[in-house]
Each structure stands twice: as C-alpha cells, then as structure tokens.
Amino acid sequence: MPSVATALDVARLYDELRYCVRANDQEGVKRVFNELVRARRPVAEILAEVKSISKEREKSEPEGDVSPRREWPPRSAPSDAEHGTPPAAVGYLRRRDEPGSRNGSLVA
C-alpha cells in the first residue's frame, strides 16, 4: 500500500494534470504524465483522467461555432487568363535573349 506522502504526491500530480489540460499546456501535460508513470500510476488511469478533464472542458465551452469566420473579399471579374485567352491577348513575357530583349531576363 502506498505511503501517505506518495498518495499526497499523486493527488498533487493529478491536480497539476487537470490544470495543464484546462490550460492546453501540452508540455506540462507530458511532464506530469511522465511523473505519474514514474509514480507507478497505470497509464489507463491517467488517460481516463485526461479524457474526463477534456469532456469537462468541452461541456464548459459555448455550443455552436463561435470562432471568427475567415471572410474572403468579393471576387472581382475574371481576368482574360482565367478564361483561357491566348497569351498574346493577355500580354506576352519573353526572355531578354530573344530578339528585341536584353540580358536573358523576362520582360513584358
């Protein structure tokens, strides 16, 4: 049977685990999880506690999607390029090494 000090340590670790889960502190959860395993607590017991805390957290959050939605600006009229218009009608880029160009870079 575990000693009183060990039981108090385990209770403290579970309190800390609850705090870390509620705060969404992933590093803290990992650290406390490892400490509980070293204290010889069954992994199933630890995971059940995390699951229970997560369910509490879900219940306390407001229902529905309250996250801000990403609003995209209204779309402008499609360009000629979107309609498959040949490049000559949209504008033609040529390499500068082509006749009428300079230095091998692209020009309009």
Task: Map 66-87 to HEC letters.
Answer: CCCCCCCCCCCCCCCHHHCCCH
pLDDT tens string 32-84: 999 999 999 999 999 999 999 888 877 776 655 555 555 555 656 655 555 55
The 10 Å Cβ neighbour count of residue 49 is 17
Share of the chain above pLDDT 70, in %: 51
pTM of the model: 0.51
Sign of CA dihedral 91, 97, 99, 101: positive
Share of the chain above pLDDT 90, in %: 41
Q: So what's the pLDDT on residue 17?
A: 95
Closest among 35, 10, 30, 34 to 20, alpha carbons compared: 30
Q: So what's the pLDDT on residue 41?
A: 93
- Better-scored residue on pLDDT, 65 or 10: 10
Closest among 40, 34, 32 to 14, alpha carbons compared: 32
- Better-scored residue on pLDDT, 3 or 29: 29
